[in-house]
Structure 1
């Protein structure tokens, strides 16, 4: 009997796989373990009654396992590993937390309106730590085999690349060569390899067949999914500016205001008051 998984549908396209990196992590795990499953795409702006009846919190992903709907991608992946131990995706304990702070640092930097608040530097520090780890232990986090930590990182890194590129015109520095290699095809040539030997190709994250199958079909769906979060952050930021102007009777907007409005996709006019 096939498992059932409820994942986020694309914003504005309820019949298309959406932009939730946690949903993709679960489906990636199902694909890598060759587990048969049925996927339900959930429009989070118009959640069906059946979904809310089995999952009152209305969050995704959730998976139907042994007649019970289970939420939280960490919990789901753990249950899948216990119930379907082969092929194993267990990450060695010493590597399980590698890259775990990247996503939070990415979100903080994305929502930041202050170029000097340290959020970019914090993200770069986390990416640099991943780069150094991959240099020492790669090509994957735990060596030559994909494990659960890679399947957790893959969607998050993809969102980072797409979303920061679109909203902040920002990209992972080329100096972090191991991070770039981690997300592409990577040819490993052992130092003492005889000339007539076959090379070993490692299909890295974004090139995995399972990743191609489970990611949103267009980057535009990822951007559309993140846009409301950016807008919400910008509205809060603008409210703070307005309060500041009213209380202090300032007539000049804070530094980088125009750039931040444009980044958020907000049209505006400059007017003089008083």
Structure 2
């Protein structure tokens, strides 16, 4: 098989999807981290969209996480997508829901004021409420780990950081989704998709934002232990 290299950024959730899939399949790969604020010239030459992840497959380059994950699923066992075409399409659709939630999360941590923050929170809540009636547990379709799970592990990882800032109640009362989140957090491939210092990197990123959440994160970091955010 050709040599695989995953071009990454430490915080990118889409990179994490590809890393989870590679790990689940036991595929050997190299990982190269770049700074997206100072993109190297070689990366600009390789990435048509200027985004990570990229997967170098020998002399070829794949971009876009969904494409990368599907390629890996077609070329390496075990299969993570369902064999049935209709069910496979359904899974791909839920992966897109995960991408939509990630877009809402970006809007959440960039929201300039409390009103905008609440609107983004409500948008995220509405989507995860739909998942409550879909998730079989302990993973998306039961005992079998799928690419939908690989897509949502990075989604729920953001909530870990948000929970340290304040109780936003995004998953309140959603028992199945809550159990799914906890199960994904324990999955070795999901845990290994980020570096050990990921929580500190993410919190530093959030505190640096010129946003309502950034201000709350800075306030929480400066407040005495036990103080309300």
The interval holding the TM-score normalised by the smaller chain is 0.7 to 0.9
Is the deviation greater in 63-72 or in 90-99?
90-99
Structure-2 change in CA distance of 1:156 and 1:45 (3 Å): same
The one of 205, 209, 217 aligned to 2:184? 205
1:170 aligns with 2:163: no
How far did residue 141 of structure 1 move? 1.3
2:92 is matched with 96
How far did residue 36 of structure 1 move? 0.9
1:69 aligns with 2:61: yes
2:115 is matched with 115
Runs of 4+ in 1 over 4 A off after TM superposition: 166-169
Structure-2 change in CA distance of 1:226 and 1:264 (3 Å): closer
Q: Hey, which of these two has a bigger chunk of helix by percent?
A: 2
Structure-2 change in CA distance of 1:123 and 1:33 (3 Å): same
Deviations along 1:84-119, one digit per CA (max 9) or x if unpaired, are 2x1001143334333433223333333332437633
How far did residue 224 of structure 1 move? 2.6
CA distance in 2, matches of 1:48, 1:220: 25
Deviations along 1:199-225, one digit per CA (max 9) or x if unpaired, are xxxxx2111111121123131112233
1:220 aligns with 2:211: no
CA distance in 1, matches of 2:107, 2:34: 27
1:263 is matched with 216
Structure-2 change in CA distance of 1:56 and 1:209 (3 Å): same
TM-score calculated relative to the size of structure 2: 0.78
1:27 aligns with 2:19: yes
How far did residue 139 of structure 1 move? 2.1
Report the secondary structure of 1:121's partner residue. Answer: helix
Structure-2 change in CA distance of 1:147 and 1:65 (3 Å): same
CA distance in 1, matches of 2:203, 2:170: 18
Asked if the contact 1:166/1:223 (under 8 Å) is kept, the reply is no
Equivalenced residues, count: 207
Higher relative contact order (CA 8 A, sep 6+): 2
Structure-2 change in CA distance of 1:71 and 1:169 (3 Å): same
1:247 is matched with none
- Runs (5+) with no aligned partner, structure 2: 220-229
Structure-2 change in CA distance of 1:36 and 1:128 (3 Å): same
Structure-2 change in CA distance of 1:19 and 1:133 (3 Å): same
Q: Hey, which of these two has a bigger chunk of strand by percent?
A: 1
CA distance in 2, matches of 1:57, 1:97: 22
1:179 is matched with 177
Report the secondary structure of 2:56's partner residue. Answer: strand
CA distance in 1, matches of 2:7, 2:23: 15
